[in-house]
């Protein structure tokens, strides 16, 4: 298994509430802070692991001193940065977000799935109009050496969400985001419980991840 898989597999619930935040947006998508500000904030909060997961773009990583094919980087302050992205996509009639971790930023098929202009990363009305399909997103993430995670699944409007997740696992889905705060609009459009989602993840032997979905300074 790759290094990212081992790291995420060994992170605990306590880690996600104290040491790790694997769902962060910067000003390169719909966040407010520059990547350098995110890193500084993470160091000040004594986080051990973070991942910048901008919508449909890898541009933030051009501001981070990563080796050309590095998928994990440690700063001088022992903060480990796991490469990441969050793709908007559809599966049947379900609009969803799929996170990719430990990805090779130079992988051409993955880069081809990314936004062609800033609006495809920043504007909801354009992002929801995407033609990306979940199976192709999962395939691209895996071909880029990464692991694929279904983001904030409690918001998926699907009566039989276990069936949907089982089907996504068939296409290669590696895990589910369980430790997620569900605040702002996601608290309103929440259709399933975290307890239910965690039970599905455990039953299907999927990785469990977490993050604050930071758009400001809420690391």
Q: Which domains does the chain have, with CATH numbers?
A: 3-210 (3.20.20.140)
Give the per-residue pLDDT at 186.
Answer: 60
* Residues 56-107: tens digit of each pLDDT: 999 999 988 655 456 887 777 789 999 999 999 999 999 999 999 999 999 9
Mean pLDDT, range 190-196, rounded to an integer: 85
Beta strands in the chain (DSSP E): 20-24, 49-52, 72-74, 80-82, 84-91, 94-101, 147-150, 175-179, 207-210
Give the per-residue pLDDT at 54.
Answer: 98
What is the reported pTM?
A: 0.94
SS3 of 23, please? strand
Give the per-residue pLDDT at 182.
Answer: 72
Distance CA 182, CA 112 (A): 31
Give the per-residue pLDDT at 74.
Answer: 78
Q: How far is CA 153 from CA 59, 69, 141, 143, 175, in A?
A: 26, 30, 19, 23, 11
């Amino acid at each position: 298994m790759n290094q990212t898989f081992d790291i995420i597999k060994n992170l605990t619930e306590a880690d996600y509430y104290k040491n790790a935040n694997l769902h962060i947006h910067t000003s390169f998508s719909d966040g407010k802070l520059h990547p350098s500000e995110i890193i500084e904030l993470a160091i000040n909060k004594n986080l051990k692991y973070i991942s910048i997961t901008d919508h449909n773009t890898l541009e933030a990583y051009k501001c981070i001193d990563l080796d050309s094919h590095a998928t994990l980087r440690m700063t001088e302050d022992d903060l480990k940065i796991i490469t990441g992205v969050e793709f908007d996509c559809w599966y049947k009639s379900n609009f969803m977000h799929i996170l990719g971790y430990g990805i090779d930023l130079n992988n051409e098929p993955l880069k081809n799935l990314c936004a062609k202009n800033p609006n495809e990363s920043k504007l909801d009305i354009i992002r929801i109009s995407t033609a990306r399909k979940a199976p192709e997103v999962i395939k691209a993430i895996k071909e880029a050496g990464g692991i694929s995670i279904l983001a904030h699944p409690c918001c998926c409007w699907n009566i039989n969400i276990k069936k949907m997740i089982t089907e996504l696992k068939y296409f290669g889905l590696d895990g589910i985001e369980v430790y997620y705060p569900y605040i702002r609009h996601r608290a309103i459009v929440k259709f399933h419980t975290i307890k239910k989602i965690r039970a599905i993840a455990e039953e299907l032997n999927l990785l469990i991840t977490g993050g604050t979905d930071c758009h400001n300074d809420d690391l």
